[in-house]
Amino acid sequence: MSVIAANLQAVHQRIAAAAQQAGRQPADIALLAVSKTVPPDRIRAAYAAGQVAFGENYVQEGVDKIAALADLRHRLQWHFIGPLQSNKTRLVAEHFDWVHAVDRLRIAERLSAQRPAGMAALQVCIQVNISGEASKSGVAPAEVPGLAHAVAALPGLRLRGLMAIPEPEHDPAAQRRPFAAMRAMLQALRTDGLDLDTLSMGMSGDMEAAIAEGATLVRIGTAIFGARQYP
């Protein structure tokens, strides 16, 4: 078995164990393999081991890999998970299936307008700045309802839920607090009439805490592909 296949198996075991602890079904937690800095041949190896959803942080790097893996385009799901500037929205709207870090209406409007007519709606999440001022990206919690209703009304998009990257914490109880706040925020939006099903939260170091608080999609890089090598 390849290293990537073995790592994937170990991550699935972690997800299953965390789900069981929380009284949840492992099948209700999707695994997004974060492949930033990972070359196409290693993404191919992950696909060969059964992984279909991949997350990229940088627009050009992601578009290049989608092109390099064009033969698998219909089998793979590509998620853009990095911060997005308005001059890069067109490439993302034209090439990706999901965007996780929408934090301004202007970005959402551009993605909606630039989504090609023949493609399915772009699936999006709103990124919430759940740890407060320490982190720069994401919308403030108080602004989430207004933004969510506006994004949900855009024709080229389908709002699926919320995403967060809390400040790193080692203590499991401290890890759970921001995730619990995210869960409550999603529930409030649903009570308010929005049809949402996604909590994109949890990375290699905190996926158990995220699953305990209702994550439906965990974004895992290092635990699958090893430590990243930046060029």
Ligand X SMILES: *Cc1c(COP(=O)(O)O)cnc(C)c1O
Positions in the binding site for ligand X (CB under 6 A): 34, 36, 57, 81, 165, 203-205, 219-223
Q: Which is nearer to ligand X, 108 or 201 (CB)?
A: 201
* Burial state string for 70-97 with b = 16 or more CB within 10 A and e = fewer than 16: eeeeeebebbbbbebeeebbbbbbebbb
Cβ atoms 32, 218 nearer than 8 A: yes
**Which helix (H) or strand (E) covers residue 7, if one does?**
helix 3-21
| CB of residue 227 to ligand X, shortest distance in Å | 8
Give the CB-nearest residue to ligand X.
221
| CB of residue 219 to ligand X, shortest distance in Å | 4
Q: Which is nearer to ligand X, 81 or 151 (CB)?
A: 81
| CB of residue 34 to ligand X, shortest distance in Å | 4
Q: Which is nearer to ligand X, 47 or 58 (CB)?
A: 58
Cβ atoms 3, 226 nearer than 8 A: yes
Q: Which is nearer to ligand X, 54 or 108 (CB)?
A: 54
Q: Which is nearer to ligand X, 30 or 113 (CB)?
A: 30
**Which helix (H) or strand (E) covers residue 78, if one does?**
strand 77-80
Q: Which is nearer to ligand X, 157 or 210 (CB)?
A: 210
| CB of residue 205 to ligand X, shortest distance in Å | 6
Cβ atoms 147, 107 nearer than 8 A: no
Question: What tokens were used for 173?
Answer: 């109880």
Q: Map residue 30 onto helix, strand or coil.
A: strand
| CB of residue 193 to ligand X, shortest distance in Å | 28
Report the alpha-carbon distance of residue 3 to residue 15 in Å, rounded. Answer: 18
Alpha-carbon dihedral sign for residues 197, 79, 202, 33: positive
